[in-house]
């Protein structure tokens, strides 16, 4: 009965108001879907069994990379090309690059031009590798945190927006094998 009354009231509206009502309804539905998707991806989506999917894996420490190769961009490229032949041979693998919100969210920060440009390269390089290798069993992903505490920073404890390295690593593992680009720590998304 109430639904019939609502439909009757809608028919009485001028066509322009009716159009605006339906556009508003579509906007609310789109926003609701986006929120529900975010909730599922951030909290409910099951993690993949990384050991079963990729077998052995390694983490290349940013400090180790800095000592091995002086330029970050060149380092990411060299490591990717060093590990890809074995992954192609096994027909499986994952490359996870760590980008930064500085490359896309706040690219205009003063004195961050080189850092933001380097991280933008890492993001674009990762997305290109994703497209190139996704049909060959290799997942490539760029995770872009806003902030993560490290032993080198003055921030020693984690907070809601600044996770510890352990907290970030736990969150990051849950995203491997899904989207090619993500902010894996949910407050950053």
Select which of 112, 115, 121, 178 is catalytic. Answer: 115
Three-state DSSP state, 94: strand
DSSP 8-class letter at 27: H
95 Cβ partners below 8 Å, 6+ apart?
80, 83, 84, 87, 126, 129, 138, 139, 140, 141
Q: Is 121 a catalytic residue?
A: no
9: tokens are 């009231």
Question: Of all helices (H) and strands (E), which one includes residue 182?
Answer: strand 181-182
Active site residues: 115
């Amino acid at each position: 009965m109430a639904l019939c009354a609502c439909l009757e009231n809608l028919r009485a509206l001028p066509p322009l108001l009716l159009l605006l009502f339906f556009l508003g309804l579509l906007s609310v539905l789109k926003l609701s879907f986006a929120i529900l998707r975010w909730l599922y991806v951030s909290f409910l989506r099951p993690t993949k069994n990384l050991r079963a999917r990729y077998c052995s894996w390694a983490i290349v420490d940013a400090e180790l990379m800095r000592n091995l190769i002086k330029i970050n961009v060149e380092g990411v490229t060299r490591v990717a090309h060093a590990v890809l032949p074995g992954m192609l041979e096994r027909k499986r693998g994952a490359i996870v690059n760590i980008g930064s919100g500085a490359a896309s969210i706040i690219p205009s920060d003063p004195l961050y031009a080189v850092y933001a440009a380097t991280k933008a390269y890492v993001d674009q390089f990762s997305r290109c590798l994703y497209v190139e290798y996704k049909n060959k069993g290799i997942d490539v992903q760029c995770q872009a945190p806003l902030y993560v505490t490290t032993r080198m920073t003055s921030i020693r404890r984690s907070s809601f927006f600044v996770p510890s390295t352990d907290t970030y690593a736990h969150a990051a593992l849950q995203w491997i094998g899904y989207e090619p680009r993500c902010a894996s720590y949910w407050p950053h998304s």
